[in-house]
């Protein structure tokens, strides 16, 4: 059985919860969060991830796989969420790299600032600096989804799983999704997948009481 280190407060961790629920993958969840310093303990750095971040997937043989994208690949590699064709596989990775480089640093970071930073001129300036990048990411998604129901191969893949969490947070990160109707419809398609679990339910299922 695989074990996942993380907290579903982070979209990157929630991605792993989503894929295990969609695939029905037996797994144990080990709650670790940066909020109380859990990702920076000597034990975590030495044994789990020297980079001091979650999520980390531990395979049944005890090997640690940090980085949500790598863990998604490992969990989905024999499933319908990782397509068969090599070009389709490359396109799945294309959208996963897009999410980490051109989407998450703008939309997720804006969300985090709005949620956790004290309102101040500096916070407002940082949000204004991040906004155009988030708009570009949503425009790129909107354009692709205007002729595609899913990101790759006409069916759900880990590209969709990767893009879902932080896109679904875009409204509370300061991005009005009514400007992106195709993105809005795609979010609904993801939410209707059999096994889908909401962030709230994922948090409830993985956070110690």
Site residues for its own copies per CB under 8 A = 50-51, 57, 59, 61, 63, 65-71, 73-74, 77, 86-87, 89-91, 93-94, 96-98, 100-102, 104-105, 136, 140, 143-144
Print the SS3 string covering the chain.
CEEEEECCCCHHHHHHHHHHHHHCCCEEEEECCHHHCCCCCHHHHHHHCCCCCCCEEECCCCCEEECHHHHHHHHHCCCCCCCCCHHHHHHHHHHHHHHHHHHHHHHHHHHHHHHHCCCCHHHHHHHHHHHHHHHHHHHHHHHHHCCCCCCECCECCHHHHHHHHHHHCHHHHCCCHHHCHHHHHHHHHHHCCCCCCCHHHHHHHHCCC
| Residue 136 C-beta: closest distance to its own copies, Å | 8
Considering the complex, state which of residue 12 and residue 206 has its C-beta at the smaller distance from its own copies: 12
Considering the complex, state which of residue 34 and residue 196 has its C-beta at the smaller distance from its own copies: 34
| Residue 57 C-beta: closest distance to its own copies, Å | 8
Considering the complex, state which of residue 148 and residue 198 has its C-beta at the smaller distance from its own copies: 148
Considering the complex, state which of residue 136 and residue 185 has its C-beta at the smaller distance from its own copies: 136
């Amino acid at each position: 059985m695989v074990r996942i280190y993380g907290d579903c407060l982070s979209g990157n961790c929630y991605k792993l919860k989503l894929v295990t629920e969609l695939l029905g993958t037996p797994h144990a969840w080990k709650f670790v969060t940066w909020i109380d310093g859990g990702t920076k303990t000597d034990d975590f750095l030495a044994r789990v991830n020297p980079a001091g971040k979650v999520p980390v997937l531990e395979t049944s043989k005890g090997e640690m796989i940090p980085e949500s994208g790598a863990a998604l690949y490992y969990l989905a590699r024999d499933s319908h969420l990782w397509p068969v064709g090599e070009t389709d596989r490359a396109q799945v990775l294309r959208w996963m790299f897009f999410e980490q480089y051109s989407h998450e640093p703008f939309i997720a970071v804006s969300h985090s600032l709005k949620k956790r930073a004290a309102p101040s001129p500096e916070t407002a300036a940082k949000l204004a600096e991040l906004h155009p990048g988030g708009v570009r990411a949503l425009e790129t998604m909107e354009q692709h989804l205007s002729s595609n129901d899913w990101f790759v191969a006409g069916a759900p893949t880990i590209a969709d799983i990767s893009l879902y969490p932080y896109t679904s947070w875009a409204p509370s990160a300061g991005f009005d999704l009514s400007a992106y109707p195709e993105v809005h419809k795609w979010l609904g398609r993801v939410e209707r997948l059999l096994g889908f679990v909401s962030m709230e339910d994922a948090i409830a299922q993985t956070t110690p009481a």
